[in-house]
Structures are given as structure tokens and as C-alpha cells.
A and B are shown apart, each in its own frame.
Chain A
Amino acid sequence: MNAGLIEFLLRRAVGFVSVLLVLSLMIFVLARVVPGDPARMALGPAASQDQVDRMRAQMGLDEPLPVQYVNFLGGAVRGDFGTSLISGRDVTTEVLGLLPATLELVLATLALMLLFGVPLGVLAARYRNRWADTVLRLVSLVGVTMPAFLAAILLQLFAAYFLMDWPILGRLDRSMGMPAGPTGLLTIDGLLLGRPDVTLSALQHLAFPALALSLSGIAQIMRITRSAMIEHQRRDHVQTLRSFGVPGRVVTFRYLLKLSSVAPLTIMGLEFASLIGNAFVVEMVFAWGGFASYGLESILQKDLNAIMAVVMLSGLFFVVANLAIDVLIGLIDPRLRMKGGR
């Protein structure tokens, strides 16, 4: 880590904080200002005016709007989003309990995206315009053409027909209960707790949802990797190494791959927002019971406090993922470290 890289990351961090600020303002306006009276919405039309007034005071709605926003922001920073208007429970506690499930799904998805997307992209670039490339490009087209919910449904159907015993709902066999591990990620907790059966079952449950969620990502990463590889293939430095007899596979898999990994990483960061969105649908189809399903529920039930928490957390997800990707890109590309910015 040198000054250039730190400067680059700091710049990005400032950008990310402003992302969260603007996001908070937008969701605040949307949830507190636009719909009229949140207290009335929470209590329903049958509640008396007295009840509504008490609710308003309890939610801090009797304060002026700027004060409400500051309160909301302060709460958000401390991780306090108030209580759910539907269940009456603390939103943060509820969300945190569901977070590991989504985290596990998203991490598995990212792993699949890299595991399949990058090698397939390299393969397609190496055999450009040959049959392998054509087949891969067509398959990737199906990937981007298939909405996540449809992929989820089709995969479920496929499992139901052809893999009779394969679990297609939930995160774990019911018989296993929910083992309380330190991370909340069942695959890892299974190992930590010495329960390989849990890990196995969790992986089985994870396979199809993660696949459904990653299909379009795999296709995109593959496409970007392919075009970056082909683009760099034309460069002089490839000629240099080739004309001194460094084998083509070394040039491809070492030199080109590292140079070409920046583009798919960047795209992965940008596409993270839609990945979170798709997680909402996939979790619903597979009854995953994660943070995203919770978000969907609360949106459909107009649980304003929960919606605000969910949106802010989605933003946080995006920001953290992109920060991680920036560190990675900074480590890959020395030019960023030298200039301290793009």
C-alpha cells in the first residue's frame, strides 16, 4: 500500500459515503414525505385518531421534517431503524438475523460468476470465431435473456422432475433445525461445528438459487472477459512476448488474463445493484428466508421503517462490494497506484 493507492481508495470512500447520504435522502423523502401519514398507514383505516397521534409521537413524526431526517440518519448510523410497523419488532434485529442467509447466497453467486464467467470468457477469446466461441456466445445470450425469476422457476422444475430428492426450498433440511454457528453462513458453520452433514445439505440447498441468480452475471462476465482479452490480444506487448518465443498459453493465461481482469471486476461492481434486486426474486421463489425476502415482504406490506432499512442496507452492500473491488483493481493495476486516481 503506498500513498497513491491510499489516496485512490480515500477518494472512492468519500464517493461511497455520499452514495449512502443521497440514498438516505431519497428513501427518506419517499417513505416519510410522499405517502402522507405513515402512522395512519401503519395502523390502518380502522384506528382512531388518538391512536394515530400516539403512533406519530412514538415515531417522531410530530417533529419538523429536517429534524426527522437527522434523527433517521443518526439512527441509521447507529444501526437503529426503529420498529417494524407490521410486526412491531426491532427492524435492525430482524434484518441482522436474516442477513447471513442473503450473504451466503450472494457470495456463492459471486463465486459462481467468477468461477464460470472468467474461464469461459478466456476460452471464447482463445478460440475466437471457432465453434467453441460460437457455442459459448449463444449460451451466454441465453444467460442474459433469461430473467432471474424464470431461471429460478425453470431450475426448480428441472430439479423437481429429474432430481427427485434434491431440495428446492429453504436453506437446510428441516430435520437439522437451524444450527447456531458463529458466522450464520450455514456452509461454514457446518464445518466449524463439526457437522459436515449440515454443510452438505446447505450446499445442496444453495446450488440452484445461486445458479439462478448468477446466470446473467456469468454471461456478462464471460462477454466482458472475452472482449477485454481480444482487445488486449491486439496490443504490441503480446507481439513482444510472442516474438521472443514465450508460449501463447503463458501470454494468454498470465499476461493477458491479469490485464483483462480489470474490466470484468469493474462490471461486477456496477452490476452488484441489479444482483441485489434479483436476489429479492430468487429468494422468494426458493423460499430462502433471507434479507431480500424480508425486503420484498416489507415493500409489499408498506412497512416503511423496514423498507428504509432494507434500501439503506442494499446500498451499503453495493458500497462495500465496490470498495473491495477497487482494492482488488488497485492491486492489479500499478498505474492506479502511481497516479492515485483515474
Chain B
Amino acid sequence: MATAEPHGADAPVQILSARRMAWLRFRSNPVAVIGALMVLSVLFCVAFAPWITPYPAHSGNVLDFANRHAAPSADHWLGTDKVGRDIFTRVIYGFRISLLLVVGVLGVAVPVGAALGLAAGYFGGRTEFAITGFTNVMLAIPPLVMALAVGNILNPNLINAMIAIALLWWTWHARLVYRVAKSVAAEDFIEAARLAGASHWHILTREILPNCVAVISVKTTLDAAFIILFGATLSFLGLGVRPPTPDLGSMVADGRQFLPEMWWGVLGPALGIFYATLGFNLLGDGLRDMFDVEV
């Protein structure tokens, strides 16, 4: 054959590397970049709350009745609450509880869900039947109802709420990872790895898991937003941290009593919830476009 190229005359299918493609996609998506910046700013607030808030002491049990229910002003950007604490300060501190919940729940739910999903997708047979069956059962349980029930029957506090949510949240990750793992496990390269003598552990962690990273990271980012909402809902209903620790949901519940006249009591924490969840959602959407995956 009179071919000049010794390594196959057909041209590479894709000129750009996958990483570069992904970065181009991400960068060309302003929404995703904004989302990433919003998430970073929330993380910044969480880390440096005592230094960036105007009244760090107001995160605790401060009573300043002279300033109670003050409307938003230069001194109090988002007004003050029923005992005169600065709402802006409390919202920034409220992110701490929200993120604690996110980390606590996802720290358990993602590894557990991913492990079960991987196992079900790869091993098939009875393992698959048992895990998918159990996952489907758990999906049927309304998480809010369960969290409320667990929390109230035991003891309404943040740890119990976290346990209750984590107990149910892994199902979504298991479902998602299972779907991807199953289709990856059917590929020729998995069989080839088996034939090359690779162990199950190698195949699960080195061959299949890397193919699931994209969906897991997108889902985890979107989940962070959901869990912030979820935690806010729980504490709105009175299940969460104890006063005076600032918490976005219970701040809304407090502020609600003084509606519609003292609207800023609800507005501040509502904006906080909105900002944090919007950031995670935008970032998640951006990652989804970037990895081009279905979640």
C-alpha cells in the first residue's frame, strides 16, 4: 500500500481533547461561570463569616430591643429581626448550617449510593435485583415526611435531620450510577479487562467509576441546592438547629409572623436561600452541559 502514514491513514476522529472541549463548553456558558462564582462566594461567606459580617455577635443570643424590626438601611442592609439582630449577618451565618447539612448528607449519600449503584450495575444477577429493588422501595418514601417523622419521634435536632435525609438521599445516586455503570459494564473493554485478569476491585474503581464521575459530580452539585431547600423547609417547620443559631428556614418562619408589614424579616433569609440554591443550580446546569450527560 502506498500510504504515507504508517499508523493508519484514517484521521483522528476528534481533534480537540475531551478536557479542552469541556473547558470550551464551560467557558462559553456564561450561566455556568456565574454559578461557579456564586458557589465560590457562598463558600467564602461560610469560611470567613466572622470577618465579613458587620455584626458577628448577632449570630448568637444578642438582644437589642431598641433596634427591633428596623427596616433595611445603611446600617442594617436587610433590616433587623424581632429582637433587633442584623438579618444580613444572620443570613451569612445561616449559610454555615445549610452547608453543614449539605456536606453531612452528601458525604454519606454520595459514596453509599455510588457504591451500591456500581455493584448493582457491574455484578448483575441477584446483587442487581436486591440493590435495585431496595433502592426502588426507598424512593417511594417521601423524604420530608420521613425526616419529620424521624426527627420528631427521636429528637428534633440537626443531626437527626441529617441522618433522616441521608438515609433516603443515597437512592438517587444509586439509581443514577447504576444506570451508567450498567451500560459501561456491558462494553467490550470491561470484558477485555476481565480477560486480562483484572480483579473486580480494579474494574469497579478504575474502569467503571471514572466513567461515572461526570454524572456523579453534576448530580451532587444539583443535590446541594436541593438539600439547602430541604433543610430550610425542615427548619421552617421547626425541625432544625436550636435558637439562637441562625438558620435560613427558621428565620423565614420567624419573619412570617410579622407579615406583611415587616416584610424584610422574610425577604432576607429568602434571598439567602435563593442565592445559594441558584448558584448550585447554575453550576450544576453548566457542568451538565459541559460533560454532556443526562442526570
Contacts and interface: CB of A to CB of B under 8 A. Distances in A.
Direct touch of chains A and B (CB < 8 A):
yes
Interface of A: 15-16, 18-19, 22-23, 26-27, 30-31, 34-35, 137, 141-142, 144-150, 153-154, 157, 160-161, 227, 231, 270, 273-274, 276-278, 280-281, 284, 295-296, 299-300, 302, 304, 307, 310-311, 314-315, 318-319, 322
B273 A150 contact: yes
Contact of A307 (B149, B232, B270): B149
A127 B282 CA distance: 20
A181 B294 CA distance: 46
A145 B274 contact: yes
Interface stretch (B3-11, B112-120, B140-148): B140-148
Interface of B: 133-134, 136-146, 148-150, 152-154, 225, 229, 232-233, 236-238, 249, 252, 256, 259-260, 263, 266, 270, 273-274, 277-278, 281-282, 285, 294
A338 to B, nearest CB: 21
A315 B260 CA distance: 37
B135 to A, nearest CB: 11
Given A144-B281, A148-B233, A295 B154 contact: no
B232 A147 contact: yes
Given A273-B142, A278-B144, A19 B137 contact: yes
A147 B152 contact: no
Given A15-B133, A157-B259, A146 B274 contact: yes
Contacts of B281: 141, 144-145
Contacts of B150: 30
Give the secondary structure class of A's interface.
helix
A273 B143 contact: yes
Contact of B233 (A19, A34, A281): A281
Nearest to A295: B145
Contact of A311 (B138, B145, B229): B145
Nearest to A26: B141
B260 A161 contact: yes
A223 to B, nearest CB: 9
A145 B144 contact: no
A35 B285 CA distance: 42
Given A22-B137, A276-B142, A315-B140, A281 B274 contact: no
B152 A299 contact: yes
A227 B149 contact: no
A31 B263 CA distance: 39
A274 B252 contact: no
A315 B141 contact: yes
Interface core residue of A15, A160, A277, A319 (most chain B CB under 10 Å) = A277
Given A15-B136, A146-B274, A277 B252 contact: no
Nearest to B277: A145
